[in-house]
């Protein structure tokens, strides 16, 4: 039994894959596929009635294709593919409720597509003239005269839902028979189609609308027909009905008129439908006893738009009508249970992977757009970016069967559409909500990514909550009031925008208002449509694993060395072979260019990082109730890919620090004559072969007195005598150091800045602070361009050469005897410009015999381990060199004082010194710890 | 070969490290090299390449037998002087001194030997266990003793040679450290 099912499933899979290569006009192949499918249908067990039913429908679809009744070939084939796939899936998996649901859904979808796509579809031209009554909102009323059959609709209402549900379980034979009859009997088609129309739900209408083009009048007509029937069939609330009528009138306008811009109307229509859907759902969640009554009251108004000849048949309650799944009840809105459905078993992981990458890009863009919108709430383009992003995510995730995401994106989209339509402004609470929605999608996508690697698809914690909030933000206390400063701006807007509830009261008024609204927005919409037409041109790129890239860089590095060895060869450099020299020089040039190029390959712009930072600043400002403008410059500056992640933490902490500690509260700022709004600037630029990140705030600056005081209480220093401002400011990087008077959840615990310092050190960077009391603080982060290349100073110690990272070197000098002193005959010290620092002999640390022993003959390199400066005695400096840092190999383990090796110009290995470790080592081995000045 | 292997299983069953050696199929191709007068054998599959002696950059604060690091076509790999590792006398390098680059236990390393000799096929039956000499002579790096062409080849357990390092490393480094601070104390 099970075996047989698997057999069938396999065959289905074949058909499924065949469908992929099916061409529109390839009749022969089509027949083949059809025959295969027919065979399968015959083999199906009777207990798989449901599935057989679906396959039957697929067969019908293929027939329809064969008979060229299909308008949109691709759409139909896709639906068939989907249906077959679902069936296959159902066959091999255990029969549970979920499968059943998806089968039903597939059936319904296929059914819809099939009948929507028949070229000889009656509704095709049902009566274009009839509805052409007028493009203005008035049209809704016009058909009234021609459709007086009000009782009919009431009758259809009375079909009990239970019955519909039970009918669903009927044996499939009925079902397929009825299809046959439809297909074979062209005359019956018209009425039957009506029957079909009559059972479609609002959800279907929305789905249909999404699938069609604005120019597809027939499709639009169908949607409006569906909605009309729904209005008649269901006794929805006035409110909902109103929304639906709005949708119809908009659709009519689209169908009949020659709108300046169809897209805007199209969007309007879908928005109406969506609103109606949401209302229905909220009503279903909290059933209102009044609903029935009011709906019935409303009826006379509603039936108006029904085309007369069809209605009676549709609603007589014959079996055909009710055979289909009762979508109206079960699936109006997909219900998300507490556990997400697993990834579809047949999920194409590469497709999903693409979706993840793509979505992340969208999310990133929308986040940026939302932030931009906050400063400029009228920025239509930003709204559109966000809207489009969510729309795309919704569409793609639905296609991939990721119901959770599509559902959420849908909600968010409706919310954003309110912003887009000017109903609400993306400020204050709404802005927060918008960003939360973006975060949620981020999380959902992360979860999907995890699910791809086998983990269960988890549902983010506040998923449901956020959905409800998105649905009706106002009821959850979200308004645009939370941002006082933008309040005035907003208030004018809010008064004009009306909540959905108000609509019911003055539908006509509202409609006309909306129409004018539409007109006024048409400019903006033109932009949008242009945007959607001209897709952003992205540079085409290839993903390469970093491992390979590193290998390439290594190899190129080797090439450079090999080349320079050739160039320095005696025969070449003797200058006797002029031609040869020329050729070698030429090769050198190419090799150097190649090296530059490979280095560039690792570089990525800082833009995404900056975007993240913008978000951080915004959130912190919101939390600490400050008004902060975030200005960033130099987003195009590029930095090594490996560094981007490492840079994140320090930047976040510093920006937090700037906002929370630097910028004063708005009231304080005002009182000292500053703008209420603080400014935090993040600036990146190149300077002397490194990247400088500048974080600047216009807050109160560092308080030297307070820092000193705190440092003394913490025992870090005894007094601030002889300490420069810079020295004092550096104290804030001590672990646990915080001058904040109270601890907030943002900062003040003192864990921030030492993280910064560690992070920056790890990046081989350096940090500087400039601060002016009352004017603000600037942090300067000086980072190397890449971690792969170390800018080093080649030093000689005896016969050995070492590389000291230039970033660790403050200076080098040759001491005079007077400046040297020892303490207790042991600890050597050297005086440099009135600063006493310990002197360590590198040759002694490394046991090198033939080095210069006399400091006055050698050279002292002043290095810094982050705490204080020390002088290292070396023989001489050999020059500066950029080297590619490499590990010494696992066979040797970690060597203290050496961070790695690098291939020098002569092909030999030079060791890169780790100054921090060397100083630690020196302190341990020389007994001078206690002797250091402190 | 398989017959050899079977034989090996039965024949080589030394008392001390019997388990390890019984599992191993010792027969196979060996690269032989000389350290002083002794001829050693190294499993050919563990050998990456043989390179001539080149400039070795000494790495400070490592055991004495770690000669330093070399640049193997852009890769930095450590080099070990096998003579020193085995506690033999250091000799000046000659034209015949080579570095055998081996790869074992995920470690790539060069070993300096006096000279390489040949690649030999040594049957399992002509491999004997290393005799125990008591504490005087350490045979922990010897898999067994192969007999070929009337000579004796000491089959090297290169995995052990490479991996035993860590412990020694630490010990030596510590000893060095101590020595260093002593030195500091005394000189200053």
Cβ–Cβ gap A826/B188 under 8 Å: yes
On whether both A655 and A803 belong to a single domain, the answer is no
Residue A901: strand pairing partners: A886, A911
From A884, which residue of chain B is nearest by alpha-carbon distance?
Answer: B74
On whether residue A183 sits in a domain, the answer given is yes
CA of B185, closest CA in chain A: separation in Å? 8
Å from A924 to nearest chain B CA? Answer: 8
Give the number of domains in chain A.
5
Kindly identify which residue of chain A lies nearest to residue B108, measuring between CA atoms: A891
Instruction: Summarize pLDDT for A676-718 with one digit per residue, the tens.
Output: 888 889 999 887 777 889 988 888 888 788 888 878 887 777 7
Average pLDDT value for residue range B122-136? 77
Q: Name the CATH topology of B2-187.
A: OB fold (Dihydrolipoamide Acetyltransferase, E2P) (2.40.50)
Q: Are B146 and B41 in contact (CB under 8 A)?
A: yes
User: CB–CB of A862/A812 below 8 Å?
Assistant: yes
Of the candidates A783, A812, A810, the one whose C-alpha atom is nearest the C-alpha of residue A795 is A812
The nearest alpha carbon in chain B to A827 belongs to B188
Task: Show which of residues 752-791 on chain A sit within 8 Å of chain B, judged by CB atoms.
Answer: none
How many angstroms away from the CA of A595 is the closest CA of chain B? 14
Side by side, the strands of the sheet bearing A628-633 are A628-633, A678-687, A690-697, A776-784, A766-772
Distance from CA of A925 to the nearest CA of B (A): 5
Q: For residue B76, which residues of chain A lie inside 8 Å, CB to CB?
A: 886-889, 900-903, 909
Burial class of A436 by CB neighbour count within 10 A (0 to 12, 13 to 18, 19+): middle
Picking from A8, A68, A53, A59, the residue whose alpha carbon sits closest to that of residue A35 is A59
Q: Best interface-test mutation with A: which of B57, B60, B107 has the largest number of A CBs within 10 A?
A: B60
- So where are chain B's domains? 2-187
Q: Which of B58, B66, B74 sits opposite A555 (nearest CB)?
A: B74
Q: Give a yes or no: residue A324 inside a domain.
A: no
Same domain (yes/no): A590, A648: no
Strand partners, B77: B70
Nearest CA among A710, A712, A707, A678 for reference residue A695: A678
A107: pLDDT strictly greater than 60:
yes
- Inter-chain contact A927–B59, Cβ cutoff 8 Å? no
Same domain for A406 and A280: no
Q: What is the nearest CA distance from A580 to chain B, expressed in angstroms?
A: 25
User: In the numeric block, which tokens belong to residue A88?
Assistant: 């296959």
Of B129, B174, B20, nearest to A924 (Cα)? B174
Residue of B nearest to A908 (CA): B71
Q: Which residues of B touch A874 (CB under 8 A)?
A: none
| Number of DSSP helices (H) and strands (E) in chain A, helices first | 37, 18
Identify which of A554, A558, A888 has the shortest CB distance to residue B78.
A888
Inter-chain contacts counted by CB atoms under 8 A, chains A and B: 107
Residues of B with CB under 8 A from a CB of A: 55, 57-62, 66, 68-71, 73-78, 80, 106-109, 162, 165-166, 169, 173, 176-177, 180-181, 183-185, 188
Q: Flag whether residue A908 sits within 8 Å of chain B, measured between CB atoms.
A: yes
Contact B185 A908 (CB under 8 A): no
* Highest-confidence segment of A145-159, A452-466, A486-500: A452-466
Claim to verify: residue A758 and residue A621 sit in the same structural domain:
yes
In three-state secondary structure terms, A860 is: strand
Q: How far apart are CA A368 and CA A611, in angstroms?
A: 6
Query: CB contact, 8 Å: A893 with chain B?
Result: yes
Q: What are phi and psi of B53, to 5 degrees?
A: -60, 140
Q: What is the mean pLDDT of chain B?
A: 75
**What is the pLDDT, as a whole number, of residue A711?**
80
Confidence of residue B49 (pLDDT cuts 50, 70, 90): very high
Q: Is residue A340 part of a domain?
A: no
pLDDT for res A795: 92
Residue of A nearest to B73 (CA): A558
Q: Do A84 and A230 belong together in one domain?
A: yes
| pLDDT of B99 over the 90 cut | yes
If asked whether residues A816 and A927 sit together in one domain, one would say yes
Q: Is there a contact between A63 and A179 (Cβ–Cβ < 8 Å)?
A: no
Domain boundary among A730, A758, A784: A784
For chain A, percent of residues with pLDDT exceeding 70: 67
Same domain for A724 and A805? no
Residue A395 pLDDT grade (very low, low, confident, very high; cuts 50, 70, 90): confident
Residue of A nearest to B164 (CA): A891
CB contact under 8 A, A927 and B62: no
Distance CA A729, CA A737 (A): 11
User: Is A925's CB within 8 Å of B181's CB?
Assistant: yes
* Residue A373 in this model has a pLDDT that exceeds 70: yes
> What tokens were used for A504?
């019911």
The verdict on A229 and A118 lying in the same domain is: yes
CA–CA gap between residue A97 and residue A692 (Å, rounded): 59
Both A647 and A584 in one domain: the answer is no
- Per-residue pLDDT for A644 more than 80? yes
Residues of B in contact with A896 (CB under 8 A): 61, 173
Contact B69 A892 (CB under 8 A): yes
Which of A570, A602, A634 is the C-terminal boundary of a domain?
A602
CB neighbour class for A779 (10 Å; exposed up to 12, middle 13-18, buried from 19): buried
Which one is predicted more confidently, A83 or A189? A83
Chain B residues within 8 A of A557 when measuring between CB atoms: 74
Q: What is the sign, positive or negative, of the torsion defined by CA atoms of A839, A845, A847, A851? A: negative
Of A555, A800, A889, the CB nearest to B76: A889
More confident residue, A867 or A529: A867
**pLDDT at residue number A522:** 45
pLDDT for position A302: 39
Considering only CA atoms, which of A824, A799, A803, A783 is closest in space to residue A872? A803
A64 shares its domain with A113: yes
Calculate ∠ Cα A454-A460-A465, nearest 5°.
155
Judged by average pLDDT, the poorest of A299-303, A353-357, B79-83 is A299-303
pLDDT for A352 equals 78
CB-based contact A39:A71 (threshold 8 Å): no
Residue A318 resides in a domain: no
Mean pLDDT of A650-657: 84
Instruction: Using an 8 Å CB-CB cutoff, list chain A residues near B73.
Output: 558
Q: What strands, in cross-sheet order, belong to the sheet with A898-903?
A: A876-884, A789-797, A800-805, A909-913, A898-903
Kindly state whether residues A691 and A583 are assigned to the same domain. no
Residue among A558, A844, A908 whose CB faces B74 most closely = A558
Query: Do A844 and B184 lie within an 8 Å CB cutoff?
Result: yes
Is a pLDDT exceeding 70 seen at residue A468? Answer: yes
Tell me: do A183 and A81 sit in the same domain. yes
Whether residue A515 is contained in a domain is answered as no
Domain containing residue A469: 349-497
pLDDT of residue A867: 63
Identify the band that residue A37 occupies on the pLDDT scale cut at 50, 70 and 90: confident
């Amino acid at each position: 039994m099970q075996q047989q099912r698997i057999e069938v499933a396999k065959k289905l899979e074949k058909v499924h894959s065949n469908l992929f290569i099916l061409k529109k006009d390839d009749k022969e192949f089509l027949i083949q596929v059809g025959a295969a499918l027919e065979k399968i249908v015959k083999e199906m067990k009777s207990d798989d009635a449901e599935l057989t039913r679906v396959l039957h429908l697929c067969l019908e679809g293929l027939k329809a294709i064969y008979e060229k009744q299909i308008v949109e070939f691709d759409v139909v084939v896709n639906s068939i593919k989907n249906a077959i796939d679902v069936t296959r899936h159902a066959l091999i998996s255990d029969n549970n409720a979920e499968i059943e649901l998806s089968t039903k859904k597939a059936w319904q979808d296929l059914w819809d597509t099939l009948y929507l796509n028949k070229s000889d579809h009656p509704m095709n031209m049902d009566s274009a003239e009839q509805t052409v009554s007028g493009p203005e909102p008035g049209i809704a009323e016009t058909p009234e005269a021609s459709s007086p059959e009000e009782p009919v609709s009431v009758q259809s209402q009375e079909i009990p839902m239970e019955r519909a549900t039970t009918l669903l379980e009927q044996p499939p034979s009925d079902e397929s028979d009825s299809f046959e009859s439809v297909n074979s009997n062209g005359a019956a088609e018209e009425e039957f189609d009506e029957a079909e129309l009559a059972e479609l739900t609002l959800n279907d209408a929305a789905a249909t609308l999404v699938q069609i083009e604005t120019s597809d009048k027939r499709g639009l007509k169908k949607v409006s027909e569906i909605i009309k029937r729904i209005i008649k069939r269901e006794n929805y609330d006035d409110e909902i009905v109103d929304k639906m009528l709005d949708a119809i009138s908009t659709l009519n306008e689209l169908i009949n008129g020659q709108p300046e811009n169809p897209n805007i109307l199209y969007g309007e229509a879908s928005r109406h439908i969506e609103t109606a859907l949401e209302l229905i759902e909220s009503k279903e969640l909290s059933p209102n006893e009044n609903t029935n009554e009011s709906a019935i009251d409303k009826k006379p108004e509603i039936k108006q738009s029904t085309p007369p000849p069809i209605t009676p048949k549709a609603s007589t309650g014959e079996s055909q009508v009710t055979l289909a799944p009762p979508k109206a009840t079960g699936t109006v809105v997909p219900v998300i249970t507490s556990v997400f459905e697993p990834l579809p078993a047949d999920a194409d992981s590469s497709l999903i992977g693409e979706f993840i990458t793509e979505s992340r890009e969208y999310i990133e863009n929308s986040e940026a757009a939302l932030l931009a919108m906050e400063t400029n709430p009228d920025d239509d383009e930003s709204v559109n970016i966000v809207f489009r992003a969510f729309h795309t995510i919704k569409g793609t995730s639905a296609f991939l069967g990721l119901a959770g995401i599509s559902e959420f994106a849908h909600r968010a989209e409706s919310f954003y559409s309110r912003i887009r339509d000017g109903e609400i402004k993306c400020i204050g609470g709404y802005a927060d909500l918008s960003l939360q929605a973006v975060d949620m999608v981020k999380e959902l996508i992360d979860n999907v990514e995890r699910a791809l690697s086998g983990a269960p698809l988890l549902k983010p914690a506040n998923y449901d909550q956020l959905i409800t909030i998105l649905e009706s933000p106002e009821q959850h206390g979200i308004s645009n009031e939370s941002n006082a400063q933008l309040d005035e701006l907003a208030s004018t807007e809010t008064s004009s925008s009306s909540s959905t509830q108000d609509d019911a009261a003055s539908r006509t008024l509202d409609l006309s208002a909306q129409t004018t609204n539409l007109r006024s927005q048409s400019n903006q919409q033109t932009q949008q449509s242009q945007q959607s037409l001209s897709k952003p041109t992205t540079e085409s790129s290839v993903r390469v694993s970093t491992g390979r890239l590193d290998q390439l860089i290594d190899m190129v590095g080797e090439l450079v060395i090999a080349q320079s060895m050739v160039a320095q060869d005696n025969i070449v450099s003797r200058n006797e072979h002029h031609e040869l020299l020329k050729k070698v020089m030429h090769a050198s040039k190419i090799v150097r260019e190649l090296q530059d190029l490979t280095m560039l390959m690792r570089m990525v712009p800082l833009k995404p990082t900056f975007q993240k930072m913008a978000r951080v600043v915004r959130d912190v400002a919101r939390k600490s109730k400050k008004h902060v403008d975030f200005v960033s410059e130099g987003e195009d500056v590029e930095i090594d890919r490996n560094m981007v992640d490492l840079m994140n933490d320090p930047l976040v902490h510093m920006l937090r620090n700037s906002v929370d500690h630097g910028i004063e509260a708005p009231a304080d700022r005002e009182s000292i004559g500053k703008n209420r709004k603080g400014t935090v600037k993040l600036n990146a630029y190149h300077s002397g072969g490194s990247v400088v990140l500048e974080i600047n705030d216009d807050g109160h600056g560092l308080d030297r007195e307070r820092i000193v005081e705190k440092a003394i209480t913490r025992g870090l220093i005894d007094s601030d005598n002889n300490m420069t401002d810079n020295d004092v400011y550096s104290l804030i990087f001590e672990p646990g150091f915080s001058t904040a008077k109270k601890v907030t959840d943002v900062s003040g615990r003192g864990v921030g800045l030492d993280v910064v310092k560690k992070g920056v050190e790890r990046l081989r960077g350096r940090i500087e602070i400039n601060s002016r009391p009352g004017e603000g603080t600037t942090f300067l982060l000086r980072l190397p361009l890449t971690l792969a290349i170390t800018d080093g100073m080649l030093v000689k110690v005896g016969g050995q050469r070492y590389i000291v990272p230039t970033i660790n070197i403050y200076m080098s000098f040759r001491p005079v005897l007077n400046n040297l002193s020892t303490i207790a005959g042991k600890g050597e010290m050297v005086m440099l410009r009135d600063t006493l620092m310990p002197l360590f002999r590198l040759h002694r640390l490394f046991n090198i015999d033939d080095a210069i022993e006399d400091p006055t003959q050698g050279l002292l390199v002043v290095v810094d381990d982050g705490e204080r400066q020390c002088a290292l005695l070396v023989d001489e400096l050999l020059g500066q060199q950029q080297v590619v840092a490499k590990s010494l190999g696992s066979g040797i383990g970690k060597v203290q004082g050496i961070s790695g090796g690098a291939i020098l110009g002569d092909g030999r290995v030079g060791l890169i010194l780790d100054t921090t470790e060397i100083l630690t080592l020196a302190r341990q081995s020389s007994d001078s710890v206690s002797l250091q000045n402190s | 070969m398989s017959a050899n292997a079977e034989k090996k299983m039965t024949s080589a069953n030394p008392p001390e490290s019997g388990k390890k050696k019984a599992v191993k199929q010792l027969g196979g191709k060996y690269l032989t090299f000389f350290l002083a007068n002794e001829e050693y054998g190294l499993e050919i599959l563990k050998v990456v390449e043989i390179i001539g002696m080149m400039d070795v950059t000494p790495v400070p604060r490592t055991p004495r037998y770690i000669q330093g690091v070399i640049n193997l076509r852009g890769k930095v790999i450590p080099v070990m002087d096998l003579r020193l590792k085995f506690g033999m006398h250091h000799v000046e390098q000659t034209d015949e001194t080579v570095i055998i680059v081996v790869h074992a236990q995920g470690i790539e390393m060069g070993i300096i030997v006096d000279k390489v000799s040949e690649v030999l096929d040594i049957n399992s039956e002509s491999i004997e266990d290393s005799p125990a000499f008591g504490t005087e002579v350490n045979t922990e790096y010897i898999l067994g003793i192969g007999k070929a062409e009337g000579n004796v080849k000491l089959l090297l357990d290169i995995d052990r040679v490479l991996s035993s390092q860590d412990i020694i490393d630490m010990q030596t480094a510590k000893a060095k450290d101590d020595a260093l601070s002593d030195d500091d104390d005394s000189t200053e």
